[in-house]
Amino acid sequence: MKTLFKLAWRSLWRNKRRTLITISALIFAVVASVFMQSINRGSHEMIVDNMTRFQTGYLQIQDYRFENEPSLDNSFYYDGDLERELLEQDDRITFVLPRIETFMLAADEQTTRGGFVFGVDLEKEHQFNGLKDRLVNGRFFDDRERGVVLSQGFSDRLGLSVSDTIALIGQGRFGMSASGLYEIVGIMDHPLPDMNSRTIYMPLETARELLSAEDKVTSLLIGMDSDRHTDAVAANIGHFLEGSELRVFTWPELIPELLELLEFDLVGAYLMSYILYIVIAFGFFGTILTMTLERIKEFGILISVGMARLKLAFTLFLEVFIIGLLGVIAGVVFAWLLLYYFYLYPIELTGELAETVIDMGWAPVLPMSFAPDQFYTQAVIVFFIAILIAVYPMYRVIRLDVISASRS
Amino acid sequence: MAVIRTEKICKVYNPDTIPVHALKDVSIQVEKGEFTSLVGPSGSGKTTLLNMLGALDMPSSGKSFIGDVEVTKLSDKERINFRLHNIGFVFQHYNLIPVFTARENVSFIMMLQGVAQKELLERADELLESVGLGDRKDARPHELSGGQQQRVAVARALASKPRFILADEPTANLDTKAAMNLLDIMEKMNEEQKVTFVFSTHDQRVIKRARRVVTLVDGAVHSDKTTTPDNTVKE
Ligand SMILES: Nc1ncnc2c1ncn2[C@@H]1O[C@H](COP(=O)(O)OP(=O)(O)OP(=O)(O)O)[C@@H](O)[C@H]1O
Ligand SMILES: [Mg+2]
């Protein structure tokens, strides 16, 4: 075994330059595909992050009917007891965030527009998603005030601004009509473009009163120490809620369309990666091919003097394995260094792109993902390709005709 | 019992296209301790016959025995293992593993045989000394002259303690001095350790030193002469 390894290792370095070039190609493949992944996933992470923070949360509890029929009839009772009980289910739960969400018509003297009303606990909401920092004009409401904060896009559409009055008309619980006049106390910038054109924030208590939903909420967002625990925490809560009319939803269940869209968006990136892999695979195969062919005679001698074909095949496998391993490990190190560099010194964005990113509530830098799994998935793929290519020299020596090999 | 025995071996290359009858009913025996040379014009079948004797290739018809083993009945895998334990080979060139030192080349065979590390190193050193390369043990093949490389090859062939050693034109790439030196070593091993040698050659100087000369012409044994110690020639 030691001798076979020695044989493989030395054979590998017989042509130093070629081996180094091959390893460099593998490094390049890993670095390039990790980098592409990082950029793609970076923008996706940004979208998902905003989506979960401002809209769904990573985990959400709803009445089981609410998903199909998002009316106040499907709201549920919430108090300090429920909060305490939920917090007790799992120590990774950091807070419970109550919300009332409903669709209402918003009108001034001339126009009427549909909008989403969010009744929120401002302090908690702020802790969760930094809501107060999104204010662009005026102020946020006090706890029980009859004041609302409009998203900027919405206020533009209605042509209303701070200290104007807005009329809200909709339906409360059990078909009660809900309507009232509210003062616009502030304008905020919603990071999700879609939501920016139709969001109205008001205090939770005010919303409850308007909608005849005292002590009710339509959803509870569950905050956790890390979103990686989503599934585990969901399982615990699910257990707790068993037998009640409440259900817990994870974010992929809450925004499946968005995830599908993001998946679709990744197709291009995957295609690029595949092309890169194919190019690298052919280059690598070329090296292994010449490396094999120029040594056919030597292989013939080795089998002639009594080296078992499988032993020889194993030695050749070792050679490819070592090249693959060196390339991939070095590739991961370089990719890590590169991403770390961009983590410290992000690529600054300018122009329209920068504005879009700022609008989404992020710094104007190219969003990149630093998720650790992208390193090893790319590394594993490249390594797998390398190993697959090892089949060729192995096949050659298994089938090698000793006589013609020594005549070649 | 003969070390090697063939019975009416025929070898036809390309039987389906343009058949080449490389060997025609060759029946020969090699006894232990022989120092035999295969001669004949180019294309007469020397290499082909050596391949049969060394269980490297299978005849188209006929049988071949090494000791009491009918090697023509063995599978490819069995023949490889049989060669490892029974036959030593010296080829014309590309003999050695280029990335291994002389010592590693010699011990490699023993490693394949599963000889213990300590014994294998001692034996490799002994063998290299016996071929006069005690001071070049750590040299790689490309650092050695052609003659030195062939001597390492002989040491390697001996390493496995084979029943006999086959050499296909071992001196073809060597100058006179190196060729004679290699022959001296082979002869000495033959005399002192009763190592059986069968080698092919074109070289008159080498032929002269063989004790048995088998001449092939057109794939058939043309003559078979043995020089006895008192220098009489027996046909
Ligand atoms: N693999 C092969 N395919 C077809 N014909 C072959 C093959 N090997 C050898 N021959 C033919 O068989 C005959 C004997 O060849 P062989 O190599 O045994 O001769 P040789 O005596 O060793 O010649 P040389 O002195 O040139 O080495 C020749 O006619 C050769 O062309
Ligand atoms: Mg020949």
B158-176 residue pLDDT tens? 999 999 999 999 998 889 9
Joined together, the tokens standing for residue B124 give 């490799």
Which range among A66-75, A258-267, B217-226 has the greatest average pLDDT?
A: B217-226
Residues of B with CB under 8 A from a CB of A: 51, 54, 56-57, 77, 80-81, 83-85, 87, 89, 91, 94-95, 97-100, 104, 108-109, 111-113, 156, 160
Q: How many CB pairs under 8 A join A and B?
A: 58
Looking at the CA of B48, which ligand is closest?
1
Which is more confident, A377 or A147? Answer: A147
Q: Report whether B184 contacts B190 (CB < 8 A).
A: no
What pLDDT band is residue B64 in, cutting at 50, 70 and 90? Answer: very high
Residue A377 has pLDDT above 90, yes or no: no
Residues with CB under 6 A from ligand 1: A 403-404, 407; B 13-14, 20, 22, 40, 42-48
Residue A357 has pLDDT above 80, yes or no: no
Q: Report whether A191 contacts A359 (CB < 8 A).
A: yes
Span A220-235, average pLDDT? 86
Interchain CB contact of A3 with B (< 8 Å)? yes
Per-residue model confidence as pLDDT tens digits over A65-104: 988 888 888 999 998 898 899 888 888 898 899 999 999 9
Chain mean pLDDT for chain A: 88
In the numeric block, the tokens 């009316």 are attached to A71
Per-residue model confidence as pLDDT tens digits over A272-303: 888 888 988 998 999 999 989 999 999 999 99
The pLDDT value given to residue B94: 66
Per-residue model confidence as pLDDT tens digits over A167-197: 999 988 888 888 999 999 999 998 887 888 8
Contact A307 B112 (CB under 8 A): yes
Residue B232 has pLDDT above 70, yes or no: no
The pLDDT value given to residue A182: 93
* Count of positions (residues) in chain B: 235
- b/e per residue A133-166 (b: at least 16 CB within 10 A): ebeebbebbeeeeebbbbbbbbbebbebebeeeb
Span A248-261, average pLDDT? 84
Joined together, the tokens standing for residue A103 give 């669709």
Share of chain B above pLDDT 90, in %: 84
The pLDDT value given to residue A249: 92
Shortest-distance atom of ligand 1 to CA B23: 14
**Opening angle at CA B80, ends B77 and B85, nearest 5:** 130
* Of residues A11, A304, A309, nearest to B56 (C-beta): A304
Per-residue model confidence as pLDDT tens digits over A300-346: 999 999 999 999 999 999 999 999 999 999 999 999 999 889 888 88
Beta-carbon count within 10 A of B123 CB: 18
Residues in chain A with CB shorter than 8 Å from the CB of B156 are 305
Contact B99 A298 (CB under 8 A): no
Task: Output the residue whose Cα is nearest ligand 1's atom 2.
Answer: B13
What pLDDT band is residue A360 in, cutting at 50, 70 and 90? Answer: low
The pLDDT value given to residue A200: 95
Residue of B nearest to A406 (CA): B94
ipTM of the complex: 0.93
Q: Report whether B149 contacts B95 (CB < 8 A).
A: yes
Residues in chain B with CB shorter than 8 Å from the CB of A298 are 94, 97-98
Least confident segment among A97-101, A105-109, B18-22, B28-32: A105-109
Span A227-249, average pLDDT? 88
Share of chain A above pLDDT 70, in %: 98
Choose, out of A303, A305, A315, the residue to mutate when testing the contact with B (most B CBs < 10 Å).
A305
Contact A307 B160 (CB under 8 A): no
From B227's Cα to the closest Cα of chain A, the distance in A is 31
| Ligand 2 centre distance from Cα of residue B29 (Å) | 20
Contact B99 A306 (CB under 8 A): no
Span B27-45, average pLDDT? 94
First vs last C-alpha separation in chain A? 29
Please report the DSSP string for chain B in residue order. --SEEEEEEEEEESTTSS-EEEEEEE--EE-TT-EEEEE-STTSSHHHHHHHHTTSS--SEEEEEETTEEGGGS-HHHHHHHHHHHEEEE-SSS-S-TTS-HHHHHHHHHHHHT--HHHHHHHHHHHHHHTT-TT-TT--GGGS-HHHHHHHHHHHHHHT--SEEEEESTTTTS-HHHHHHHHHHHHHHHHHH--EEEEE---HHHHHH-SEEEEEETTEEEEEEEE-TTS-EE-
| Ligand 2 centre distance from Cα of residue B81 (Å) | 24
Residue A246 β-bridge partners: A63
Q: How far is the C-alpha of B226 from the C-alpha of B235, rounded, in Å? A: 6
| Ligand 2 centre distance from Cα of residue B41 (Å) | 9
Q: How far is the C-alpha of B126 from the C-alpha of B130, rounded, in Å? A: 6
Which is more confident, A196 or A361? Answer: A196
Domain segments of chain B: what residues? 4-234
Please report the DSSP string for A138-150 in residue order. E-PPPTT-SEEEE
Three-state SS string over A157-218 comes to: HHCCCCCCEEEEEEECHHHCEEEEEEEEEEEECCCCHHHHCCEEEEEHHHHHHHCCCCCEEC
The pLDDT value given to residue A383: 85
First vs last C-alpha separation in chain B? 20
Per-residue model confidence as pLDDT tens digits over B120-150: 999 999 999 999 999 999 999 999 999 999 9
Residue A97 β-bridge partners: A221
Per-residue model confidence as pLDDT tens digits over A23-73: 999 899 889 888 888 888 888 888 888 788 887 888 999 999 988 888 888
* Count of positions (residues) in chain A: 408
Q: How far is the C-alpha of A379 from the C-alpha of A390, rounded, in Å? A: 17
Q: Report whether B100 contacts A10 (CB < 8 A).
A: yes
The pLDDT value given to residue B229: 64
The pLDDT value given to residue B151: 93
Beta-carbon count within 10 A of A235 CB: 13
For the domain B4-234, what is the CATH code?
A: 3.40.50.300
The pLDDT value given to residue A269: 77
A95 dihedral zone (left: phi>0; alpha: psi -120 to 50; beta) = beta
What pLDDT band is residue A373 in, cutting at 50, 70 and 90? Answer: confident
Q: Which one, of A48, A61, A67, A58, lies nearest residue A258 by Cα?
A: A48
- Is the Cα dihedral A178, A184, A186, A188 positive or negative? positive
From A11's Cα to the closest Cα of chain B, the distance in A is 6
Backbone phi and psi for residue A171, each to the nearest 5 degrees, phi listed first: -125, 130
- Is the Cα dihedral A373, A378, A384, A387 positive or negative? negative
**Cβ contacts of residue B90 below 8 Å, gap of 6+?**
B150, B153, B154, B157, B165, B166, B167, B168, B170, B199
Residue A106, SS3 per DSSP? strand
Tell me which H or E stretch contains A64. none
The rounded Cα B130 to chain-centroid distance in angstroms is: 18
Shortest-distance atom of ligand 1 to CA B169: 27
Q: How far is the C-alpha of A38 from the C-alpha of A404, rounded, in Å? A: 51
Joined together, the tokens standing for residue B46 give 């020397």
